[in-house]
Each structure stands twice: as structure tokens, then as C-alpha cells.
């Protein structure tokens, strides 16, 4: 893993998902095979494979302190193109410090991660009902998870994290995106641990070869998604969990 400390020019960027996004890191140690953030490579000088480099924006909190004074409040997505709680966050605490600044200014934020490290900041998170945390969970099957997300935490741990956050009084959601095969058990497993669930399908572009290599091509067809939509909708309704499909 090549880790480089860098000085960013800005930290609070405009986003299409929410008003703003903060990415304290460029690159992600989780290196998921389907990650759409791989396109970030185009904007960096990195020759390394996605998942093998991380630039650490060591001035992230200093920048945010300045920028937050000048911009109109709006929801911040943490993060769009990296996992804000990837292992390096333990040492650098950039996400933690940004979160504290957002809390101080009463800005709303939506955190999206796969990492148990988010629990470290539960004290900050539970101080505001404007802060919510989503754990990305793409399948209920560890074998499938290992194919697509070999360096990310196991599914069981992510579900446990949701439970702990929810129990601590933080608003939680599960992001089932991209929807992979064998997600059928998730509605039952998520019961009592989330406020809502979002579901989206795969960006085929990067997954094509991985799917073929593992003989999972069926999961790229429209039939697969139509079928899963029906099954998951019915299962989430049965569990009484609000859900939304983004496809």
C-alpha cells in the first residue's frame, strides 16, 4: 500500500447526491472490484492498481473550518469516492475531525462506510439527529462478499455495527449497492437495526470480467434485477423496514 500525505486545495465539494461531499482520502484500502471510484485514478498521477494507493488529505479539517464559514449549509455526503473509515482513518482521524466541525456548525451529514471504525465516533454521532450512518452491505453471503470485496470487513460485522449504532440512538441505514447475488437473507438480518434501506444495482462497467470469471453472469441480466426487486420488496415489507430502490 502506497500512502502519501498531501495538501488538498478544497475539501467541501459540490455533489449530485447531496449538496456537498467530503472525501478526506483519495483511494481506498478496501479496493472493491466493482468500485466506481476507480475513475478517480484519472485525476491523480497514480499508476498503481485501485486499492493499492491512498492519498491522505492531511489539511482536510483545516480546510473545512475555513470553507464551512463561507458556504450555505447543506447535507454533506461522507464520502463519495472513498471509505471515510478505511483503516488509515484510525491513525489520521480526518473524518473524525471533519465530523466534529460539521456537528459544531449544525450541518447535516450522511456517512457511508463498510468499516467498524465508525463506532469510534459514536459519541459525536449521537449528539445530532442530523447525522446518519449507512453501512454498505451488498450480499448476505460471505463467499460472494470475498469475491467482490476481499479487503473489506465481513458482512456479519457490518450488521453488528448497524445494530450498535442504532442502539446508541444514531439514525442508520443499509446501502445494498451494488446488489449482488444471495442478498435474500438481508431483510431478516437487518430487522431492528436500521431506519431504512436503499438498494441499487451494479455498474456493469467494472464488474463484467469479475462476474464472468466467477460464473455469475446471471446476476447481470435484467431478469435477475426484476426478480430480486420483487423478492426484496416483499421481504422488506414483511419485516416492516422502509426501503427504496434506486433503479
Shortest approach of ligand SF4 to residue 207 CB, angstroms? 11
Contact yes or no for 138/178 (Cβ under 8 A): yes
| Minimum distance, C-beta of residue 28 to ligand SF4, in the bound complex (Å) | 3
Return the number of the residue (109 or 235) whose C-beta is nearest ligand SF4.
109
Alpha helices in 107-245 (DSSP H): 122-125, 142-148, 155-167, 186-190, 204-213, 222-239
82 binds ligand SF4 (CB under 6 A): yes
Asked, as a colleague might, if the bond just before 87 is cis with ω within 30 of 0, I would say no
For the sheet containing 131-136, what is the strand order? Answer: 13-14, 20-21, 76-78, 109-113, 131-136, 171-176, 196-199, 243-245
The answer to whether 25 and 34 are in contact (CB under 8 A) is no
Strand-pairing partners, residue 21, are 13, 77
Please identify which residue in 46, 57, 96, 114 interacts with ligand SF4, judged by CB under 6 A: 114
Report the residue number, 82 or 159, with the smaller CB distance to ligand SF4.
82
Q: Minimal distance in Å, beta carbon 27 to ligand SF4? A: 9
Nearer to ligand SF4, 197 or 235 (CB): 197
**Closest approach of ligand SF4 to the CB of residue 32, in Å:** 3
Site string for ligand SF4, 140-159 (x = CB under 6 A): ------------x-------
Residues 28-47 as x/- pattern, contact with ligand SF4 by CB under 6 A: x-xxx--x-x----------
Q: Strands 131-136, 109-113: parallel, antiparallel or unpaired by DSSP?
A: parallel
Q: Could you tell me how far CA 6 lies from the centroid of its own chain?
A: 23
Q: Which of residues 12-31 bind ligand SF4 (CB under 6 A)?
A: 28, 30-31
# binding residues, ligand SF4 (CB under 6 A): 10
Q: Which residues bind ligand SF4 (CB under 6 A)?
A: 28, 30-32, 35, 37, 82-83, 114, 152
Amino acid at each position: 500500500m502506497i500512502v502519501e500525505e498531501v495538501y488538498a486545495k478544497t475539501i467541501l465539494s459540490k455533489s449530485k447526491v447531496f449538496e456537498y461531499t467530503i472525501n478526506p482520502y483519495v483511494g481506498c484500502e478496501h479496493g472493491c472490484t466493482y468500485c466506481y471510484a476507480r475513475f478517480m485514478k484519472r485525476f491523480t498521477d497514480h499508476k498503481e492498481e485501485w486499492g493499492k494507493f491512498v492519498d491522505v488529505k492531511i489539511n482536510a479539517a483545516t480546510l473545512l473550518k475555513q470553507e464551512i464559514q463561507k458556504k450555505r449549509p447543506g447535507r454533506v455526503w461522507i464520502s463519495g469516492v472513498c471509505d471515510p473509515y478505511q483503516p488509515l482513518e484510525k491513525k489520521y482521524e480526518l473524518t473524525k475531525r471533519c465530523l466534529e466541525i460539521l456537528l459544531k456548525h449544525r450541518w447535516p451529514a450522511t456517512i457511508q462506510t463498510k468499516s467498524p471504525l465508525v463506532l469510534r465516533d459514536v459519541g459525536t454521532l449521537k449528539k445530532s439527529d442530523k447525522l446518519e450512518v449507512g453501512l454498505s452491505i451488498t450480499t448476505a453471503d460471505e463467499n460472494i462478499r470475498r469475491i467482490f470485496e476481499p479487503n473489506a470487513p465481513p458482512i456479519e460485522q457490518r450488521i453488528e455495527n448497524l445494530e450498535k449504532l442504532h442502539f446508541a440512538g444514531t439514525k442508520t441505514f443499509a446501502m445494498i449497492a451494488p446488489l449482488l447475488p444471495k442478498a435474500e437473507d438481508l431483510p431478516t438480518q437487518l430487522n431492528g437495526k436500521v431506519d431504512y434501506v436503499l438498494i441499487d444495482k451494479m455498474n456493469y462497467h467494472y464488474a463484467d470480467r469479475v462476474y464472468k470469471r466467477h460464473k455469475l453472469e446471471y446476476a447481470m441480466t435484467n431478469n435477475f434485477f426484476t426478480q430480486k426487486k420483487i423478492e426484496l420488496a416483499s421481504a422488506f415489507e414483511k419485516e416492516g423496514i422502509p426501503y427504496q430502490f434506486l433503479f
